[in-house]
Amino acid sequence: MWVHPMPDPVALSIGPLHIRWYGLMYLAAFIQFVALARVRIKQPQIARCGWTKEDIDDMLFYGVLGVVLGGRLGEVLFYHPEFYFANPLEIVKVWNGGMSFHGGFLGVLLAMSIWAYKRRRNAWDVLDFIAPMVPLGYAFGRLGNFINAELPGRIADATLPWAMIWPNVDNLPRHPSPLYQTLEGVVEFALLWYFARKERPRMAVGGMFCLLSGMGRFITEYFRVPDYEVHFAGITISAGQMLSLPLIALGIVMLIVAYRRGAHAPDRVPSQEAQTRAG
């Protein structure tokens, strides 16, 4: 039987400065975003739209704010409002873990919409551009959850070869659900990157991201101890599944709209010089 290694959440200490594994996973997520985005802007259908390295660096700043603020507020409001409202100082302690994927998604949507408005980009084009880089970032975040021994899995059959005991929970065999969700992010990245390699109608890549992410999270929730469950019409679903249903619906609607409109190339943004002259 595997036993969770329960590693020290602090990866490195330099005097009073403590660098945590959870923070390093988020740093890795942002680095991979930049690296993949620089590959993506070289794809013919993307290069024709005038994306630049400066756009990537600028979007990263907005994206970090969206992920951190949205993810934390989502954790506070969607999952544990009673605890955080009773202990408001805990809200800022993001290094201890506790980030909501759905909150981060909404935060990034808002941040990218603001960036698109400022840069005169179509917001759907921005979503289509960044979507393939998001799943690997999600995977790194879930790996950070595993290192922190967070999000334990449901009790598993002891004969399951990869069942794992979480000493901070109990001595029962459990599914290593954060690792399942790490794998989920890797698979979604592979599918979405392949899908986005060809020119697609506006909203199609973003819609596929919403659909894959919602479905992936809905499935992996069956193996994770739920934060809480919702009972409706004789059906029981977890909080994560309930929040994933709108994401699945949004993805389906976006794909239908995208392909009903037919091929619609993203807007080509005027050069910086042209924007300056126009101003």
Decide if 125 contacts 267 (C-beta within 8 A). Answer: yes
Which tokens belong to 15?
């005097």
CB atoms near residue 24 (< 10 Å): 16
* End-to-end Cα distance, the chain: 67
Provide the 10 A C-beta neighbour count for residue 102: 23
Distances (CA, A) of 36 to 8, 41, 48, 211, 255: 30, 9, 18, 21, 24
Beta bridge mates, 238: 229
What distance in Å separates the CA atoms of residue 218 and residue 139, rounded to the nearest whole number?
15
Question: Amino acid letter at 243?
Answer: L
Report the run of H or E that residue 121 belongs to, with start and end.
none
CA nearest neighbour of 121 among 44, 61, 51: 51
Only one residue has tokens 């967070």, namely: 150
Residue whose tokens read 């659900």: 177
**Residue 142 labelled as part of a binding site:** yes
Q: What is the DSSP string of 23-53?
A: HHHHHHHHHHHHHHHHHHTTSHHHHTTT--H
| One-letter identity of residue 152 | P
On whether the CB atoms of residues 58 and 173 are closer than 8 A, the answer is no
As annotated, the binding site includes 142
